[in-house]
Amino acid sequence: GHGKLLGPAEIRDLAELLGVTPTKKLGQNFVIDANTVRRIVKTAGVQRGEHIVEIGPGLGSLTLGILETGASVTAVEIDKRLAEQLPKTVELMQPGVDLTVITQDAMKVIELPGEPARLVANLPYNISVPVLLHFLEHFPSIRSGIVMVQAEVGQRLAATPGSKVYGSPSVKAEWYGSWRTAGHVSRQVFWPVPNVDSILVGFDRRDAASSGDAAIDETGAIGTEEERLATFALVDAAFQQRRKMLRQSLAPVLGDTATASAVLEAAGVSPTERGEQLTVHDFLRIARAA
């Protein structure tokens, strides 16, 4: 059996006990299937004794799956009722495990206890990309992770230049490291059942030591904070008008079409290219040339 994890009956009972009606606004779709939970934890490669950070633990489905391996968890939940219940549920199902709950909007968290090495989460769909980027930006201790997101968002995160779905999330995610899809998840494993299927996405932060690039620090970032902001502004502009050539789409940021052309030439990028062909390194070179 799945004695240490939550199933459909437990999820229903907990929601009733708390008087919780899942809200769309907070992306509350709870996993009711223990096999899915174990699959996520296995895919994430969670190790005994590791410190994991989870965004949006909800009723605790995934939290219990992570804790079951002997890892410790710091969980950030915005919904007070869920955050208050979580330690009680965990104590009941797996007494004595190591859980810290932070009741806060994950987008506003800039400090975590200890140094979590991995991020494992079934992300609230409405903020999945910004919250991922926020955690990678603020917590360099996070070296890798597995997140569950809407299938379409996951495809975007893992997309490479030239692909139809390559867009600003793809380039921004690439700033921090490498991304891959790691398997589909049916909408039927959630309560309530969402309108779309989900996908697992894995990432590994760029490793300073093995990258051979002396400019890359422990955050895995390929440039300074100032350069990141300049690069992301270019990325946003390029994909706001993704069908246009870069000399046009980047003109609002770089000045005018002529200036944009000159900067692009200086960066070794053809002014008639489109953003969908460029890697994050290309965008950074343009930011540096500007």
Q: Which is nearer to ligand SAM, 59 or 237 (CB)?
A: 59
Q: Which is nearer to ligand SAM, 77 or 174 (CB)?
A: 77
Sole window of 75-83, 153-161, 207-215, 236-244 interacting with ligand SAM (rule: CB under 6 A): 75-83
Q: Cβ 165 to ligand SAM, closest distance in Å?
A: 22
Q: How many CB atoms lie within 10 A of CB 24?
A: 12
Q: Which is nearer to ligand SAM, 65 or 275 (CB)?
A: 65
Q: What is the DSSP string of 52-116?
A: EEEE--TTSHHHHHHHTTT-EEEEEES-HHHHHHHHHHHHHHSTT--EEEEES-GGG----SS--
Which of 15, 34, 76, 129 is close enough to bind ligand SAM by CB under 6 A? Answer: 76
* Per CB under 6 A, 122 contacts ligand SAM: yes
Q: Which is nearer to ligand SAM, 98 or 105 (CB)?
A: 105
Cα atoms found within 13 Å of the Cα of residue 83, Cβ hemisphere only: 17
Q: Which is nearer to ligand SAM, 57 or 167 (CB)?
A: 57
Phi, psi angle pair for 176, to nearest 5°: -95, -20
With CB under 6 A as the rule, give the number of residues binding ligand SAM.
23
Q: Which is nearer to ligand SAM, 77 or 282 (CB)?
A: 77
* Per CB under 6 A, 166 contacts ligand SAM: no
* Per CB under 6 A, 154 contacts ligand SAM: no
SS3 200: strand
Point out the residue whose Cβ comes nearest to ligand SAM. Answer: 56
- The binding track of 9-48 with respect to ligand SAM, each residue x by CB under 6 A or -, is -----------------xxxxxx-----------------
Cα separation of 226 and 141, whole Å? 21
114 CB-contact burial (10 Å; exposed 0-12 / middle 13-18 / buried 19+): exposed
According to DSSP, the β-strands at 118-122 and 190-191 are unpaired
C-beta contacts of 23-28 below 8 A and 24+ residues apart: 25/126, 26/78, 26/79, 26/124, 26/126, 27/56, 27/123, 27/124, 27/125, 27/126, 27/127, 27/128, 28/58, 28/79, 28/124
- The binding track of 90-119 with respect to ligand SAM, each residue x by CB under 6 A or -, is ---------------xxx------------
User: Which residue bears the tokens 């009711």?
Assistant: 32
Q: Cβ 276 to ligand SAM, closest distance in Å?
A: 30
Within residues 201-260, the interface with ligand SAM by CB under 6 A covers none
User: Which residue bears the tokens 């902001």?
Assistant: 229
Which of 116, 124, 154, 202 is close enough to bind ligand SAM by CB under 6 A? Answer: 124
According to DSSP, the β-strands at 72-77 and 51-55 are parallel
Sole window of 121-129, 133-141, 162-170, 214-222 interacting with ligand SAM (rule: CB under 6 A): 121-129
Which of 14, 66, 82, 136 is close enough to bind ligand SAM by CB under 6 A? Answer: 82
Using CB under 6 A, list all residues that contact ligand SAM.
26-31, 55-58, 61-62, 76-79, 82, 105-107, 122, 124, 127
